[in-house]
């Protein structure tokens, strides 16, 4: 389960990994953001040290359920890290003490006393018990095991080719010329997959706006909206605009595209990305804005609702999300409320895509069912091409089957 360490561990890296884990586990912060912040504050760290700290942090998070059972709820980042290294045989107590771990002997004892056989299958698979039970009901035990195993893998680097600026063939050629291994993604025609991590900012084709990092599943989800040049489209939960940019490219920069979100800070990250991508004419709006919604009612050709969710389909990239408390009824109620508001924007005959990166039916099929029960003027869109397993309606992407993050997307049409 734990990846080999890419070099010898020294006290500064030990402290860095333990500090980041403390923020992720006990302050409920996102691992990738904490790592980015740490590296930005310690610019002297070389790429090998950064890789080492990242490997340690993600190694702990990919074994989090088991480590939590051993460490106990209130343990520090240092305790999790020590247990992880001891359990993986990557350090002994003397090494840990030399690194600065004050309680190495205590954690070694805790590990020895722990009854591994008492762990549930869910904890061994690194899945919270309630989610494991729901998945077993939904997918069966065999698929649940395969899903959990896939979600514990490191995700590849997927890039979306920005067709406003380049073709996939041009991007592949540019990467090859730069000596970077890359291949065409199997499911999305705009996807280029890199088997190894690279510092994107160093790539010419990134700096020129030819590519954006985006999971292949996210690319398919944006495509599920069927955006056409000249249409009037809203991305209702746009965030920092990953899918907005993909929709804008599908519209070939022609038409009217709105990015909406309640989070002003996320929306602010979109204009520079749009500029780099040469996506002109994008309009932003912070919600809630009842007056604006009322004025725009019935005027959009298509609306994407990429709803806030548990993120259970993205545990490869955000493994810490599995540690967060999950209130499914509250999430589903929020998702339904957002979908109902967004639906008012659609003209008759318009397309509404409800999407999440959750693999739980309570956040997906159940929300669609509740929405349709209250909105007889919406129906499943009969015009979605049934071209491939990854392009059905609803779109259901599973990491163990499709090799991308897990997503659900259902396209509805207003009668």
Interhelix angle 141-151/129-139, rounded to 10 degrees, is 130
**CA distance linking residue 193 with residue 213, whole number of Å:** 10
Question: Does residue 273 belong to the site contacting ligand SAM (CB under 6 A)?
Answer: no
Residue among 224, 243, 317, 413 that touches ligand SAM (CB under 6 A): 243
| Residues 329/335/336/339 CA torsion (nearest 10 deg) | 180
**CA distance linking residue 274 with residue 257, whole number of Å:** 12
Question: What residues contact residue 371 under an 8 Å CB cut-off, 6+ apart?
Answer: 336, 339, 340, 343, 354, 378, 412
- Residues 180 and 203 sit within 8 Å (Cβ to Cβ): yes
Beta carbon of residue 240, minimum distance to ligand SAM (angstroms, whole number): 5
**Does 32 carry a binding-site annotation?**
no
Beta carbon of residue 272, minimum distance to ligand SAM (angstroms, whole number): 15
Residue among 18, 21, 211, 238 that touches ligand SAM (CB under 6 A): 238
Question: What residues contact residue 245 under an 8 Å CB cut-off, 6+ apart?
Answer: 160, 162, 212, 273, 274, 277, 279
Give 86 or 246: the residue with its C-beta nearer to ligand SAM.
246
Interhelix angle 11-26/47-61, rounded to 10 degrees, is 40
Site residue total, ligand SAM (CB under 6 A): 16
Beta carbon of residue 153, minimum distance to ligand SAM (angstroms, whole number): 22
Give 140 or 374: the residue with its C-beta nearer to ligand SAM.
374
Residue among 338, 390, 395, 398 that touches ligand SAM (CB under 6 A): 338
- Residues 341 and 352 sit within 8 Å (Cβ to Cβ): no
Give 75 or 339: the residue with its C-beta nearer to ligand SAM.
339
Question: Does residue 245 belong to the site contacting ligand SAM (CB under 6 A)?
Answer: no
* Stretch near ligand SAM under the rule CB under 6 A, chosen from 16-24, 40-48, 128-136, 233-241: 233-241
Of the listed 101, 309, 357, 404, which one is catalytic?
357
**CA distance linking residue 189 with residue 223, whole number of Å:** 10
Stretch 303-332: interaction string toward ligand SAM, x if CB under 6 A: ---x-x------------------------
Reduced to 3 states (helix: H, G, I; strand: E, B; else coil), residue 214 is coil
Beta carbon of residue 258, minimum distance to ligand SAM (angstroms, whole number): 12
Give 71 or 304: the residue with its C-beta nearer to ligand SAM.
304
> CA of 20: how far to CAs of 77, 108, 288, in Å?
7, 22, 34
**Does 235 carry a binding-site annotation?**
no
Look up 357 and say whether it is catalytic: yes
- Residues 351 and 400 sit within 8 Å (Cβ to Cβ): no
- Residues 415 and 161 sit within 8 Å (Cβ to Cβ): no
Beta carbon of residue 135, minimum distance to ligand SAM (angstroms, whole number): 20
Q: Provide the annotated active-site residues.
A: 357
State the residues that interact with ligand SAM by CB under 6 A: 236-240, 242-243, 260-263, 266, 287, 306, 308, 338
Q: Could you tell me which residues are annotated as the binding site for S-adenosyl-L-methionine?
A: 261, 306
């Amino acid at each position: 389960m734990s990846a080999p360490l890419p070099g010898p561990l020294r006290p500064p890296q030990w402290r860095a990994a333990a500090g980041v884990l403390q923020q992720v586990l006990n302050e409920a912060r996102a691992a990738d953001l904490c790592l980015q912040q740490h590296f930005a504050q310690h610019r002297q760290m070389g790429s090998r040290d950064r890789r080492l700290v990242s490997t340690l942090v993600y190694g702990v998070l990919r074994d989090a359920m088991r480590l939590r059972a051993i460490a106990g709820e209130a343990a520090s980042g240092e305790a999790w890290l020590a247990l992880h290294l001891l359990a993986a045989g990557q350090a002994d107590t003397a090494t840990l003490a030399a690194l600065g771990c004050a309680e190495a002997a205590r954690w070694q004892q805790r590990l020895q006393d722990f009854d591994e056989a008492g762990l549930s299958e869910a904890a061994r698979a690194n899945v919270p018990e309630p989610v494991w039970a729901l998945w077993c009901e939904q997918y069966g035990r065999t698929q649940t095991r395969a899903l959990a195993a896939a979600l514990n893998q490191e995700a590849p680097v997927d890039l979306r080719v920005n067709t406003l600026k380049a073709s996939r063939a041009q991007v592949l050629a540019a990467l090859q010329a730069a000596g970077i291994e890359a291949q065409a993604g199997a499911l999305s025609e705009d996807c280029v997959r890199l088997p190894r991590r690279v510092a994107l900012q160093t790539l010419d084709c990134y700096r020129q706006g030819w590519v954006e990092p985006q999971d292949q599943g996210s690319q398919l989800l944006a495509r599920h909206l069927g955006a056409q040049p000249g249409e009037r489209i809203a991305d209702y939960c746009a965030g920092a605009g990953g899918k907005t940019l993909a929709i804008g490219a599908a519209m070939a920069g022609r038409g009217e595209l709105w990015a909406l979100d309640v989070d002003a800070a996320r929306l602010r990250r979109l204009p520079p990305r749009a500029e780099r991508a040469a996506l002109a004419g994008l309009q932003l709006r912070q919600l809630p804005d009842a007056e604006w919604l009322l004025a725009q009612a019935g005027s959009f050709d298509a609306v994407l609702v990429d709803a806030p969710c548990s993120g259970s389909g993205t545990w490869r990239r955000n493994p810490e999300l599995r540690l967060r408390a999950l209130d499914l009824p509250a999430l589903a109620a929020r998702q339904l409320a957002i979908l109902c508001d967004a639906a008012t924007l659609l003209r008759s005959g318009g397309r509404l895509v409800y999407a999440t990166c959750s693999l739980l039916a309570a956040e997906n099929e159940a929300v669609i069912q509740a929405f349709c029960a209250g909105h007889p003027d919406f129906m499943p869109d009969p015009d979605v091409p049934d071209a491939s397993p990854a392009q059905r309606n609803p779109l259901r992407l599973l990491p163990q089957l499709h090799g991308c993050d897990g997503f659900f997307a259902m396209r509805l049409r207003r009668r």
